[in-house]
Chain A
């Protein structure tokens, strides 16, 4: 995507000051996983284009939600941000410094400031370690944050912050419920006082009543520690609840990005519209007047994405132009200069506004 010449995020309508420096800038990020054939002599026969030209900014204290269906590349973006995968190309600038080029001590210093919370609270905690050891482990790697004698106290404080009894410090993960484990995962993420937390589906494994508790906790912590969240999820209602801005991904690309109201109330990309219209709304009255866009078929393989616009194979608006010309992520011409809520980035040649979310009650 070649939108680097202009800022990828237009002036948001949520009143965020424009002069703030982004804490994280992602530019044209690409990650291709090679597909090989042969056992001894491996030949590359293709590539899974998991992430293919993604750009966005993350500002201090804000939450950027990323939504998309399985296989759209949202978790790969998370791994790239954490430097757990090496990008094929592109830049990730943390306070102006490209972290993809760092190594050794410099990388370690940056990593302290970007931490992750994982989806599955059952497999992301080591069952043989006590809660105290799990939350305190980051201090082993970054001893400068908390001197040895101080650690136990720090861990107990963290337990208290996430709403767990500090006396549980010597317990093991299996003694906790799913929601409590996710709190432990969050406490571990907070241990180094990071500025950015990348949360990949942090509440999708939890029951509804517990989900609300964890979401509220994350919001409280954000205010308390001025955290920036990159909140990745497939549940569009939760993403709206927690996010200031939302990016919609499809097959390795961001197809639409904007402030939460711009995306949810004034979506202009057909994929966003289909996605939003398909969300079951907890209101039986909405059955009569809601219009659902049922997409046909499945998401194409990222190893062999369609030419031009990647969504065209499932799009009801697709025309010849969509086959040959890839739409860029920018404010669509029709809305340029209008200043209205529809004037946000959308990668569609035929972008038009279509409200699809039924009003409840």
Chain B
């Protein structure tokens, strides 16, 4: 990991790469049952002002990757075994604990799905928001409180001055998620990772929260990694997409292309399996089988037992991320066929 030194910039030097560049990241969990390979060579990058959606089902490794980037992976049992996480030109994995902590919160922040369990129930929200300023910026409590009120107004919590003494349980789900966003925004980070930020919310509230997030992102030109399983939310806000399956990226693409013509059978299966709002369809297409057990990831392409296109080569050879076009890649031996064919493949396995 020490080889990443050449990427570091001197203080004041200019670094022209992406804001965040994850390279060949591997994470495993060493459990009593064996080693679960949760992340197997993930690569993605985000620029300032850009939104990357990481799409995947439970167990695909999308949240574990985010935890590794943030440096909040439970270790043990989780270990980063390989790879680089280059943030503003520096490989975070080479930093010591103290330096890493300075990055976390101040330069990159995270928004979690469940605001109720992510906020401290015995501190009022003013104290929790103010903590960001007293700890990271060394402000007095009074100053910090004033900043906390400003923040709450920023995320449009009504009557912020009064609400600052409220405890998390006194807020509705949507308001709580706004408090979470306020906390993430507090130190004006360059990157925000939002892990299923609206999954627990109702649709009308989800729309409010996504709008707020998009507005703040534009204003501060932040990079945003949006982790989600919802293809609708992705289509609404993302610039580009990384689809994950069994700890790998199976397809990356600008958002428009992937919905028009997916280049991986898994992506295609997902798109075909969601019911549509604008028409009453026939039977839904269902991907057969179940997501793999990470203790026993199938040989070759991990998706082959569920894939309508699988052939012998898929059982033996793990497909690399083939370049489909300048900005697209697909980890499927038969990406050309997948792209070209828009009907359900008749290919028998």
Q: Which of A216, A261, A280 contacts B283 (CB 8 A)?
A: A216
Q: Which of A212, A234, A298 contacts B175 (CB 8 A)?
A: A298
Q: Which of A209, A242, A260, A282 contacts B235 (CB 8 A)?
A: A282
**When chains A and B are docked, how far (Å) is the Cα of A358 from the Cα of B278?**
7
**When chains A and B are docked, how far (Å) is the Cα of A177 from the Cα of B59?**
12
Contact B205 A207 (CB under 8 A): no
> B271 an interface residue at 8 Å Cβ cutoff?
yes
Interface centre among B234, B275, B287 (most CB of A within 10 A): B275
Interface centre among A179, A242, A281, A292 (most CB of B within 10 A): A281
Report chain A residues within 8 Å CB of B276. 237, 240-241, 282, 360
Q: Which of B1-9, B115-123, B224-232, B308-316 contacts A (4 or more CB under 8 A)?
A: B224-232
Contact B277 A357 (CB under 8 A): yes
Contact B270 A209 (CB under 8 A): yes
Q: Which of B70-78, B79-87, B206-214 contacts A (4 or more CB under 8 A)?
A: B206-214
> A208 an interface residue at 8 Å Cβ cutoff?
yes
Contact B287 A209 (CB under 8 A): yes
Contact B281 A241 (CB under 8 A): yes
Report chain B residues within 8 Å CB of A169. none
- Chain B residue with minimal CB distance to A360? B278
Report chain A residues within 8 Å CB of B202. 69-70, 234
Q: Which of A179, A261, A360 contacts B280 (CB 8 A)?
A: A261
**When chains A and B are docked, how far (Å) is the Cα of A360 from the Cα of B173?**
30
Contact A274 B204 (CB under 8 A): yes
**When chains A and B are docked, how far (Å) is the Cα of A358 from the Cα of B276?**
11
Interface size of A by Cβ–Cβ distance < 8 Å? 46
**When chains A and B are docked, how far (Å) is the Cα of A234 from the Cα of B236?**
19
The interface bits of chain A over 258-295 (1 if a CB of B lies within 8 angstroms of the residue's CB, else 0) are: 00110010000000001110111111111100001011
Contact A215 B269 (CB under 8 A): no
> B172 an interface residue at 8 Å Cβ cutoff?
yes
Interface centre among B57, B276, B283 (most CB of A within 10 A): B276
Interface centre among B230, B234, B285, B286 (most CB of A within 10 A): B286
**When chains A and B are docked, how far (Å) is the Cα of A282 from the Cα of B235?**
5
**When chains A and B are docked, how far (Å) is the Cα of A280 from the Cα of B236?**
6
Expressed in whole angstroms, the minimum distance between the Cβ of A200 and any Cβ of chain B is 16
Contact A280 B175 (CB under 8 A): no
Contact A298 B235 (CB under 8 A): no
Report chain A residues within 8 Å CB of B205. 69, 298
Contact B277 A177 (CB under 8 A): no
> B274 an interface residue at 8 Å Cβ cutoff?
yes
Contact A284 B275 (CB under 8 A): no
Contact B275 A294 (CB under 8 A): no
Contact A237 B290 (CB under 8 A): no
Report chain B residues within 8 Å CB of A70. 173, 202
The interface bits of chain A over 109-149 (1 if a CB of B lies within 8 angstroms of the residue's CB, else 0) are: 00000000000000000000000000000000000000000
> A351 an interface residue at 8 Å Cβ cutoff?
no
> A359 an interface residue at 8 Å Cβ cutoff?
yes
Q: Which of A177, A216, A358 contacts B286 (CB 8 A)?
A: A216
Contact A177 B271 (CB under 8 A): no
> A318 an interface residue at 8 Å Cβ cutoff?
no
Report chain B residues within 8 Å CB of A238. 275
> B284 an interface residue at 8 Å Cβ cutoff?
yes
> B49 an interface residue at 8 Å Cβ cutoff?
no
> A219 an interface residue at 8 Å Cβ cutoff?
yes
**When chains A and B are docked, how far (Å) is the Cα of A359 from the Cα of B205?**
23
- Chain A residue with minimal CB distance to B57? A207
**When chains A and B are docked, how far (Å) is the Cα of A316 from the Cα of B57?**
37
Report chain B residues within 8 Å CB of A261. 280
Expressed in whole angstroms, the minimum distance between the Cβ of B176 and any Cβ of chain A is 11
Q: When A207-B291, A282-B234, A285-B256 are in contact, do A240 and B280 touch as well, CB less than 8 Å?
A: yes
Contact A298 B284 (CB under 8 A): no
Interface centre among A219, A238, A284, A298 (most CB of B within 10 A): A284
- Chain B residue with minimal CB distance to A297? B158
Q: When A209-B273, A294-B207 are in contact, do A215 and B236 touch as well, CB less than 8 Å?
A: no
Report chain B residues within 8 Å CB of A83. none
Contact B278 A284 (CB under 8 A): no
> B36 an interface residue at 8 Å Cβ cutoff?
no
> A23 an interface residue at 8 Å Cβ cutoff?
no
**When chains A and B are docked, how far (Å) is the Cα of A274 from the Cα of B205?**
11
- Chain A residue with minimal CB distance to B288? A213
Expressed in whole angstroms, the minimum distance between the Cβ of B349 and any Cβ of chain A is 17
Report chain B residues within 8 Å CB of A279. 203, 232, 277
Q: When A208-B229, A215-B284, A278-B206 are in contact, do A298 and B174 touch as well, CB less than 8 Å?
A: yes
> B233 an interface residue at 8 Å Cβ cutoff?
yes
> A9 an interface residue at 8 Å Cβ cutoff?
no
**When chains A and B are docked, how far (Å) is the Cα of A45 from the Cα of B286?**
51
Expressed in whole angstroms, the minimum distance between the Cβ of B50 and any Cβ of chain A is 15
The interface bits of chain B over 51-64 (1 if a CB of A lies within 8 angstroms of the residue's CB, else 0) are: 00000011000000
Expressed in whole angstroms, the minimum distance between the Cβ of B276 and any Cβ of chain A is 6
Contact A208 B203 (CB under 8 A): no
Expressed in whole angstroms, the minimum distance between the Cβ of B34 and any Cβ of chain A is 17
Interface pairs A-B: 7 shortest CB-CB: A280-B232, A241-B275, A69-B202, A212-B273, A207-B57, A212-B286, A278-B207
A residues with CB within 8 A of B = 69-70, 177, 179-180, 207-213, 215-216, 219, 234, 236-238, 240-242, 260-261, 264, 274-276, 278-287, 292, 294-295, 298, 357-360
Provide a sorted-by-A list of 20 A–B residue pairs whose CB atoms are within 8 angstroms.
A207-B57, A207-B291, A208-B231, A208-B273, A209-B269, A209-B273, A216-B286, A236-B203, A240-B280, A264-B277, A278-B207, A280-B207, A283-B235, A283-B259, A284-B236, A285-B256, A285-B259, A286-B235, A295-B204, A357-B278
